[in-house]
Structure 1
Amino acid sequence: MAENPQDLGMWVEALKAKYEPSPGVKPFGRKEFDNLLGPYGGCTDQPAVLFNEELMAAYPEAKVILRNGNSRFPESIRPVLCHGGPRVHGTYSRETNLIARHYFGVTHTAGPKSFTANAPFFEQWQASARSTYLKHNDHVKQITPPEKLLLFDLDDVWAPLCNFLGKPIPDVAFPKVNETLAIQEKIQLYIAESYKRSFIRFAKRVAPVAALLIAVAICRLRASRCGPAFEGAYVTDYAERLPIHRGTRRIRNCLEVWLLIYAVIRLCE
Structure 2
Amino acid sequence: MPLDVIGAGVGRTGTYSLKLAINQLGLGPSHHMEEVILNMPRQLPLWQAAVAGNADWQAIYDGYPAAVDWPTAGFHRELYAANPTARFILTHRSAESWYESFSSTIYKLISNVDAAPEPMRPWLEMTIAVIAKTGFPLGLDRDGLCAAFEAHIATVKATIPASQLLVYQVKEGWEPLCAFLGVPVPEGPFPRTNDRSEFWDKVSAAA
Give the distance between the partners of 2:134 and 2:181, measured in 1 at CA.
Answer: 29
Mapped partners of 2:165, 2:155: distance in 1:
12
| Structure 1 Cα separation of the partners of residues 169 and 70 of structure 2 | 19
Give yes or no for the alignment of 1:92 onto 2:116: no
Report SS of the residue matched to 2:65.
Answer: coil
Matched, 1:180 2:196: yes
C-alpha contact 1:100 1:125 (8 A) present in aligned 2: no
Q: Is the 8 A contact 1:77 1:180 kept in 2?
A: no
Q: Which residue of 108, 117, 123 corresponds with 1:82?
A: 108
Match of 2:76 in 1: 52
1:155 shift after superposition? 1.3
Matched, 1:41 2:26: no
TM-score normalised to structure 2 length: 0.68
Partners of 2:90 and 2:123 lie apart in 1 by 26
Q: For 1:139 and 1:14, locate their aligned partners in 2 and report how far apart those are by CA, in whole Å.
A: 20
Distance in 1 (CA, whole Å) between partners of 2:108 and 2:36 is 24
CA contact (8 A) 1:77 1:183 kept: no
CA distance in 1, matches of 2:182, 2:92: 20
Match of 1:63 in 2: 87
| Partner amino acid, structure 1, of 2:36 | N
Q: Distance in 1 between matches of 2:65 and 2:194?
A: 24
User: Could you tell me how far apart the structure 1 residues matched to 2:69 and 2:44 are?
Assistant: 13
SS of the residue 1:61 aligns to: coil
Q: How far did residue 41 of structure 1 move? A: 1.6
The CA distance in 1 between the partners of 2:202 and 2:147, in whole Å, is 23
Runs of 5+ in structure 2 lacking a partner?
1-32
Q: Give the distance between the partners of 1:42 and 1:125, measured in 2 at CA.
A: 33
**Aligned-residue offset at 1:101:** 4.3
Determine which structure has more spread, i.e. the larger CA radius of gyration: 1
Equivalent residues in 2 for 1:133-172, closer than 5 Å: 133-172=149-188
Change in 2 beyond 3 A, CA 1:54/1:67? same
**Structure 1 residues 13, 126: CA separation in 2 closer, same or farther (over 3 Å shift)?**
farther
Q: Could you say which structure has the higher helix fraction?
A: 1
Cα distance in 2 between the residues matched to 1:52 and 1:190: 25
- C-alpha change, 1:93 and 1:127, in structure 2 (3 Å) is farther
Calculate percent identity across the aligned residue pairs.
24
Instruction: Write the letter of the residue equivalent to 1:99.
Output: V
Segments of 4+ moved more than 4 angstroms: 83-86
Query: 1:107-136 CA distances to partner (integer Å, 9 max, x unpaired)?
Result: xxxxxxxxxxxxxx5x43656322222111
Q: TM-score, normalised by structure 1?
A: 0.54
